[in-house]
Amino acid sequence: MLNLIKTTTAASVMALAAGAAFAQDYPSKPIEVIVGYSAGGGTDVMARTAAPFIEKYLGDGASLVVKNMPGASGQIGVTEAATADPDGYTLGTFNLPGMMARTIDREADYDRDSFTYLANVVNDPNVIVTTKGGGLDTIDKLVEEAKANPGAVTVGMSSLGGDDHFMLIKLQELTGAEFTIVPFKGSAPARTALMGGHVAMGILNISEVAEFQEELNVLGVATEERSDFAPDLPTFEEQGYDLINGSMRGFIAPAGLPEDVEAKLLDAFAQLETDEEFLEAMKATANPVEVVTGEEFKELTSDLYDLAKGVWEETPWN
């Protein structure tokens, strides 16, 4: 009997030691970061820019290897990350609201509980833009026109079920105005159609119009405070419209990480927020940074899921 107790204690001590050793050792081999888009895209650039800083904060010669698994709007990559072994050696990038919207508008092999939420790093707020010379150069005029002639204002934006789309839904719900959606494949063609006057209005993200402020009327930005990217640009709140929305990108790991590994990763990601060098590098690649870690990130995801679900139930987009 005594022997049995001895062995169990010994075993549990050993197990504890092993656990501690695991966290101390972590990472003892390269960590793979799965990016659901091809190299050179916004999400990929974020991952590759952040990687050396995460390596620095994890310490001990940690190394992050970015692996691109493009396809199906990021769904292939995020599914891979969600179903990987939760040992801390596979992380993934995560896009909002896209990744949650995909669990609603198609069948997905993951849901919001499939992940350990590490950190959201980028928050690229929406902006509303109109063509030069179209006369709709303030948000009030735009809303007035859309109310007077329901559906007459055409809105160029990137695909349905993305942040641009949800922004428009919020605007329609807030004002009761009605617009005609013209969903391009990506923001750049939508922006070009705007510049050529083929659509009247556009919903884009601030990073996408920062270089085009002379070519387009930018009516406002959907944030609480003015964005560093265009400090002269008023928020919609300032103009009396309660509109806050944007596109977000961050990092997740599969659900069920060992607690100490999770803590170590969260700690490393949290330090990004105050790293001047990192902020500088992100600014150079047009990524507005807003670091949200752990539980808060999880809540953010949940909120966006509820928003997408609500929109889907009222006006399904396919």
Partner 1 sequence: MYSDLLHALPEVMGLSNFAAVIIGVIAGIVVGAMPGLSATMAISVLVPFTFGLEPLVALGLMAGIYNGAMYGGAIPAVLLRIPGTPAAVATTFDGYPMARKGEGGFALQVAVVSSAIGGIASAFALMLLAPPLSKVTLLFGPSEVFWVAVFGLASIIFLLGGNPVKGLISACFGVFVSVIGADPIYGTDRFTFGQLEMLDGINIVILLVGLYALPPVIDLLETPLKTDSVESSKLGTEPIWKAMPRMKGFWKTWLRSSVFGIWIGILPGAGGSMAAFMSYNEARRTSKNPEKWGEGEPEGVAASETANNADTASALIPALTLGIPGTAVAAVMLGGLLVHGLQPGPMLFRENPDVVFGFMWQFLFGAILLILLGGSLATNSFARLLNLPRPLLGSVIIVLMLIGVYSIHGRMFDVYLMLGFGAVGWVMDKLKFPLPPVVLGLILGGFAEENLRLALRIGRGDWGVLFQNTTSLVLVALTVAVVVGPIIKRRVIDRRKEAEG
By the 8 A CB rule, do 98 and 74 touch? yes
Q: Binding mask 107-146 vs partner 1 (x if CB under 8 A, - otherwise)? A: ----------------------------------------
To partner 1, the closest distance from the beta carbon of 229 in angstroms equals 11
Residue 130: phi, psi to the nearest 5?
-130, 165
To partner 1, the closest distance from the beta carbon of 70 in angstroms equals 7
Q: Is 183 in the site for partner 1 (CB under 8 A)?
A: yes
Q: Is 193 in the site for partner 1 (CB under 8 A)?
A: yes
Burial class (CB in 10 A: 0-12, 13-18, 19+), 162: buried
Q: Is 199 in the site for partner 1 (CB under 8 A)?
A: yes
To partner 1, the closest distance from the beta carbon of 81 in angstroms equals 14
What long-range pairs does 11-20 form, CB within 8 A, spacing at least 24? 19/258, 19/260, 20/260
Q: Which residues pair with residue 129 across a beta bridge?
A: 202, 218
| Measured distance CA(127)–CA(236) in Å, rounded | 9
CB within 8 Å of 303: residues ≥ 6 apart: none
Out of 23, 66, 84, 244, point to the residue binding partner 1 (CB under 8 A): 66
Out of 1, 3, 113, 214, point to the residue binding partner 1 (CB under 8 A): 214
CB within 8 Å of 220: residues ≥ 6 apart: 127, 128, 139, 233, 234, 235, 236, 238, 239, 241, 243
To partner 1, the closest distance from the beta carbon of 86 in angstroms equals 22
- Which range binds partner 1 by CB under 8 A, 3-11, 56-64, 181-189, 257-265? 181-189
Residues that bind partner 1 (CB under 8 A): 38-42, 44-45, 48, 66, 68, 70-73, 75-76, 79, 105-106, 151, 154, 159-161, 180-185, 188-189, 191-193, 195-199, 208, 210-212, 214-215, 284-286, 317-318
